[in-house]
Amino acid sequence: MCLTCGCLLAYDDHKNSDRLTMEDLEKSATLDHVSLAEAVANIVATVEATNPPPGTARLFAGSPQLGRRMRL
């Protein structure tokens, strides 16, 4: 998807290499010797554990799963 905008085009960086794509995630998962599913779970857990400062909680409002798990 580019992995963040919600377009569901996993390998499309929309002509901007700063965007995170499935290819980037695959490379990183390979480096860490984890499956893609584990990598995704680790990303969610890490974002949740990051405990964003007050005022940034709204950034997670668009993700029902993250919002619920973070009690936003």
The contact set with Zn ion (CB under 5 A) reads 2, 5, 7
CB closer to Zn ion, 3 vs 29: 3
CB closer to Zn ion, 1 vs 39: 1
Give least dist CB 14 to Zn ion, A.
6
DSSP 8-class letter at 59: G
**For residue 28, what are the CA distances in angstroms to 10, 13, 24, 36?**
15, 16, 6, 9
Give least dist CB 55 to Zn ion, A.
26
- Would you say how long the chain is, in residues? 72
